[in-house]
Chain A
Amino acid sequence: MHARADAADTAPNWPDDIFATLQRYDVRQVPYVPDAGHSTLIQRVLASSTMRGIPLTTEEEGVALLAGAWTGGQRGVLLMQSSGVGNCINMLSLIPILRFPFLTLVTMRGEWGEFNPWQVPMGSTTQGVFELSGIKVLRASNAAEVPAVLEAAAAQAYNALTPTAVLLSQRLIGAKVFTK
């Protein structure tokens, strides 16, 4: 279950804002490793007639999939949580080499109000890993800024071939709680 860590950010429709932006940019392939923070968006994708949700066994598969999708004329977006970013590292080398549009939306763990210490090391290095890999990082920390951040990210990824990761902060999603 999720508890809202920040009462001001309880607006439930930010996943719909993301979906609308992806739709507007004609995104067709949506590979993902599930995360609770992405569950609403994944439902929207799986119910969509224009997007194909593609469950992965590990996140790096999604990087290679998007290279193939682009070669075949389709745009995609990779959905994952911060722990999955580490799984992608070598495959991220395809992005500058093949020069395809890369957009990933990452739900953050290991930050704002985290309960599980095992999430903290990868959550703490997520942004650095992306930056060292040549991927620009944008962050959305509250629901109100999601539409503008998504628009900027999609525009630079698809129009300017600037590989981009959007970090959806744990403050936005709500820290996962296991205790009463």
Chain B
Amino acid sequence: MSKANLLDRRQVVSTLLADRKDVVAIGGLGASTNDITAAGDHPRNFYLWGGMGGAAMIGLGLALAQPKLPVLVITGDGEMLMGMGSLATIGLQKPPNLSIVVLDNECYGETGGQISHTSAAADLVGVARACGIADACAISTMAEVESFAVCVHDVVGGPRFANVKIDSAELARILPSRDGTYIVNRLRGDLGFLPI
């Protein structure tokens, strides 16, 4: 399944989060959540095990609530395709502290590797840009990943969007907690919010 010159998803995500400081990272349903876990569990990680199509909108709600906090959504092409309308919603709100990275392996890796729309037709960078996210780019080198990782900390220049073509090879599953209430309350606690 591997093609030449495609980036390694774990290396992409660990680079994005290597110097994360106060970044909140939201992982979309699927392997993206495992990639974030592989980079290291953290109280500011928000892992999704469901709610397909919702990752970018969770990012928007969080980014609007915490405008000084860098919010980074890391999701897959299938998850982003399901929530494509949310790019229009984000393009309208223009949260300056929100960044979205799509790990695009052009297939539904969790369900048997069926091809996704990005394999031959859909251009998510074009969609994001056409929805009003001016800072939208395709990434194909680790140098570009490194420079995007720096931009994530800029909370006045967003929203920004990057589509990263990655190798579709299946990797060992590194699973985070499946307890959503724990994940949310841990993150809220780290932001200084008390339980109700």
Contact = CB atoms under 8 A, between A and B. Distances in A.
Interface stretch (A40-48, A54-62, A107-115, A134-142): A54-62
B58 A99 contact: no
B27 interface: no
Nearest to B191: A73
B86 interface: yes
Contact of A97 (B85, B86, B181, B196): B181
Given A73-B188, A99-B184, A93 B50 contact: yes
* Chain A interface residue bracket vs B: 20 to 34
A74 B196 contact: no
Contact of A90 (B52, B55, B64): B52
Contacts of A94: 50-51, 54, 180
Interface residues of B, number: 35
Contact of B61 (A58, A72, A93): A72
A58 B85 CA distance: 7
B163 to A, nearest CB: 20
B76 interface: no
B85 A161 contact: no
Nearest to A57: B85
Interface stretch (A5-13, A63-71, A125-133): A63-71
B64 A97 contact: no
Interface of B: 26, 46, 50-55, 57-66, 69, 83, 85-86, 88-89, 92-93, 180-181, 183-184, 187-188, 191, 193, 196
